[in-house]
Structure 1
């Protein structure tokens, strides 16, 4: 299930999940930090096969929910790896009181991974505040819901029309219109995008869309041109 995406980074696709009748594919990423521990981003359902592959990579040290929407499988990972620290993005502590959170995610990079990963919150959005991560060694940015891309035949019926209008189905991955409209503080969002575009990005991973390999910074610039242009 795990696929090597670059130096010290792996991805795994999980089962689809349903939100308001829309079915979404799921994807997670695992980064092996310099100390050997694993940084688990947006964990998917934990099958026995996936657990064995993860344990073969090293010790799970950090379980990261990148926004308040990606938390469905966090509890089972915490149960399986109780030694790992669990991190909450803005809004998730209140939403998931059944999960033990050890630390909050925000503007400051967590010291445990500051040598390997940078981060910036995309603040000012009414739907969710997403924490965007950058893995230096693989030159990869990790987006969760802010950039999405579905194949033309993924949705059917009226949902296909909604998906097209929302830019979930487009010539290339895009920021859905619902997220664009939800940025009530566009100044804060522009600052975050400027921070992201300062990274020497080559690749872009998304939870809902095929990865972008090569020329990632130019792609991100296009994806957010509606905000920065």
Structure 2
């Protein structure tokens, strides 16, 4: 069942295996000022979920925040043909089967500019991620830039995150962190994220950050500024 985590923001959590590990993922749905729905990192679309979504409003925008969070875009496009779907950097080439309406940039689309800000977090030679910020609730939407695994994490993943130095703290996965060769670009994006003064951070994987989001960002990305 979808959970409301702030005014006009809901999440749907699902089990997900990644390389055989019970990883888990989280979709975010934002109700915009015009009443339409903005869907961030969509999960598998079930009949139950469609019913819940219908009660919230009409799906207008379907977002892939990076080129890994695209698995269910096709079924959402089929279910909501009037909705626009947006490509994160690199996704058009990866998913030629999808009919994208536009590409995500550093500038919010006019359709959601009154509610959400956004930026492209670059600096890695592997992948860029588009980060969104809901102004009214001071909520930051992040996919893979940070993950937070703690006591409620499945046993095997808990042990692996301990070995990787990720357990018990929100942090970027170390394999992705090593690809950030253009750190000035990443620092510029981080500074802009901090200027939003987020309070809550919704992550796609692991535990959400429910308070002190700005300070959490500073700690999690201290490797960029040290």
TM-score (norm 1): 0.93
User: Do the aligned residues in 2 keep the contact of 1:29 with 1:40 (CA within 8 Å)?
Assistant: yes
Asked if residue 223 in structure 1 is aligned to residue 220 in structure 2, the reply is yes
User: Do the aligned residues in 1 keep the contact of 2:150 with 2:158 (CA within 8 Å)?
Assistant: no
> 1:83-131 CA deviation, whole Å, 9 max, x = no partner?
0000000000000111111100111221111110000111121331100
| 1:155 Cα deviation after fit | 4.8
> 1:24-46 CA deviation, whole Å, 9 max, x = no partner?
20100000001111000000111
Aligned length: 225
Alpha-carbon distance in structure 1 between the residues aligned to 2:17 and 2:55: 27
Alpha-carbon distance in structure 1 between the residues aligned to 2:118 and 2:86: 13
TM-score (norm 2): 0.95
Say what the alpha-carbon RMSD is for the aligned residues: 1.5
Asked if residue 168 in structure 1 is aligned to residue 148 in structure 2, the reply is no
Structure 1 gap segments, 5+ residues each: none
User: Do the aligned residues in 2 keep the contact of 1:155 with 1:163 (CA within 8 Å)?
Assistant: no
Alpha-carbon distance in structure 1 between the residues aligned to 2:218 and 2:81: 39
Structure 2 gap segments, 5+ residues each: none
Alpha-carbon distance in structure 2 between the residues aligned to 1:110 and 1:85: 11
User: Residues 91-106 of structure 1: matches in 2 within 5 Å?
Assistant: 91-106=90-105
Matched position secondary structure for 2:127 = coil
User: Residues 125-140 of structure 1: matches in 2 within 5 Å?
Assistant: 125-140=124-139
Structure 1 residue corresponding to 2:206, chosen from 187, 190, 209: 209
> 1:137-183 CA deviation, whole Å, 9 max, x = no partner?
11100110110122355252xx66643343332x2211121121111
Alpha-carbon distance in structure 1 between the residues aligned to 2:92 and 2:155: 32
Give the aligned partner of residue 154 of structure 1: 154
Distance verdict in 2 for CA 1:124–1:61, change over 3 Å? same
- Deviating runs (4+, > 6 A) in structure 1? none
